[in-house]
């Protein structure tokens, strides 16, 4: 089981979202922490400026994260609508 850690900006991003969207994202993050392989269709490795990071799809929103397998940590870098989260 992975431990979830959030950058301060990611916490701020999450708090800006609607309560229902927050709940959906939190549920997906719990599944991600328990078993990342279960969400393999919703996870994609990023390229370019975001090399080494992944995205988790939650409807129209994306969670950008880094995964450290050696210490079992998932670091949440950013959360936002798919139109603006990669900027």
Question: Other CB atoms closer than 10 Å to residue 69's CB: what's the count?
Answer: 9
User: Is the CATH number 3.30.2310.20 carried by domain 3-79?
Assistant: yes
pLDDT for the residue 25: 98
Q: Which two tokens stand for residue 10?
A: 């990611």
**Rounded distance, CA 12 to CA 2, Å?**
22
3-state DSSP assignment of residue 73? strand
Please state whether the predicted TM-score (pTM) of the whole model is above 0.85: yes
Helix (H) or strand (E) holding 32: helix 19-34
The pLDDT tens digits along the chain (87 residues) read 999 999 999 999 999 999 999 999 999 999 999 998 999 999 999 999 999 999 999 999 999 999 999 999 999 999 999 999 988
Say which residue the tokens 């229902």 belong to: 20
**What is residue 76's predicted lDDT score, i.e. its pLDDT?**
98
């Amino acid at each position: 089981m992975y431990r979830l850690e959030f950058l301060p900006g990611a916490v701020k991003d999450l708090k800006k979202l609607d309560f229902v969207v927050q709940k959906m994202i939190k549920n997906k993050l719990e599944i991600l922490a328990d078993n990342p392989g279960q969400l393999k269709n919703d996870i994609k490795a990023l390229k370019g400026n975001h090399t080494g990071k992944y995205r988790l799809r939650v409807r129209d929103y994306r969670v950008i994260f880094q995964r450290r397998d050696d210490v079992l940590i998932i670091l949440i870098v950013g959360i936002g609508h798919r139109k603006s989260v990669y900027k």
